Structure 1
Amino acid sequence: MPIDAAKALAAEPRTAEIGWDSRDVQLYHLGIGAGRPATDPAELRYTLESRLQVLPSFATVAGTGAPGGLSALSLPGVEVDLARILHGGQSLTLHRPLPAQGRATATGRLAALYDKGKAAVLVLRTDVSDAEGPLWTNDSQIFLRGEGGFGGERGPSTRLEPPTGAPEQVVERPIREDQALLYRLSGDWNPLHADPEFARLAGFDRPILHGLCSYGMTLKAVVDTLLDGDVTRVRSYSTRFAGVVFPGETLRIRLWRQEGSVRAAVSAVERDDAPVLADTFVRYA
């Protein structure tokens, strides 16, 4: 079905009340590989309720069903086939540190719609506030394969010049065989990450890991190695999903510290450093 850009962009924002608690936070942290070694004090900050801090990327799953995420893809003027969706990029702005439990109002809308020729790109924005004010803003860039050519604007290029020089840190993070099955319990039920038959329909020989799982694993590596384990220093975090990664592989995370920010490049070790995340920035205080 052709995209009706005018109808999609004119759609009213959607608002929902969301909530989360420490169990949701702990499950998310386990889903991105926290808790290894289980008794490490640095890991207990992510897994033990009495010491719990919240990695900012939890905002991508907090209050599953919030109106601006992948669950919002049933938009007026846009018909979506889950087998043709690719998550192209993600950006997160923190307005203040995330609490381990809370209730908030999430307002989601289609912020932009671009025509890339062979694909359409949706930019889905979610603004989340609680009684004390704004908490975070999430932007998801979603590629709809085969849905371009509707005559819309092509949109800006998001490609950045790669960092130069040797990285300050190189971190490797193994991905468990069941990592996608655990991560999806935080709310992304796309069968692409669990069902082999569905994955084959989408062009993959087996289920792939959620891009947002790699996204969370990378932010945790940045916090743990370059930000003294202090999640409250993160101000914003953005990436472009450059390629897939499969459960059972290993992420190689290269980090370059710049003034007030960290650049990261993430690849899959077992496939000759095939790119996974690119154009990745963490801004910090």
Structure 2
Amino acid sequence: MEIVIPNRLATLGHPQRLALFRLLMRRYPDRVPATELAQALALKPNTLSTYVNALMQAGLVTQERVGTSRRYAIDMNAARETFDYLLHECCRGRPEMCSPLGTKEPAKKDHKYNVLFICTGNSARSIFAEAILRKEAGDRFAAYSAGTQPRSKPNPYALEVLAQKGHDTSVLEAKALSVFQGDEAPDFDFVFTVCNQAANEECPAWTGQPVSAHWGMPDPVKVEGSDAEKSLAFQHSYGALLNRIKAFTALPIASLDRIALQKAIDDIALKNEGTIA
């Protein structure tokens, strides 16, 4: 351990390797193709390979082959072990130095949780999530959504699906992420990215240290074909998010510590597949 941890920290000391590590952290629990990583970080394939190999040798990243594709993911146990070691060492006798980094628990009792869903255009997936959470558990959660590059308005197919499911679409609009970065913005308890591109981008550091997770899924807006085929893609996206949000709202949030809650939310992305609802 005395050798492993310094080697890991030294590996993360390189700016590009750290950027790769942070991107994979944002995408966890996804296994991300090498081509997507290279594109997101503007790296040549051979340069990316060098950085990934260094992180793998340090034990921080795992590789999986899918056909001819190589996909990478954070080894969360190794990452947690590394930073737990660092924090425990630096906090000896001075807990005030490190406790703000990761010990904040979600608010308890009668608190209404603020939840933000982020995607690129804020026209479909994040709009679905906002509407579903508001309908499923609006008494316990305040739901918001935003886009890193928002469209001018929600996608008409998305609004059609929501109307069919009995949602009030009059309150839905496409919004920029900057709307929630001012002094008047709510403090969020949870922040979810629901598209890979948004997770690949550097997002702001949110005040209050919300629990964050990545619930990536295919973009129905990009589906081509007949109106029926496009509508079906939006139905699938709605169903996937409905499953995940139902699982999320069923969690005993007030009784879970932060680590257990984070794991439960990450597991939702793995266990809940999209279905037409």
Specify the TM-score bucket, using the shorter chain as the normaliser. under 0.3
Structure in which a larger fraction of residues adopt strand: 1
Q: Radius of gyration: which is bigger?
A: 2
Q: TM-score, normalised by structure 2?
A: 0.27
Structure with higher RCO (Cα < 8 A, 6+ apart):
1
Structure in which a larger fraction of residues adopt helix: 2
Q: TM-score, normalised by structure 1?
A: 0.26
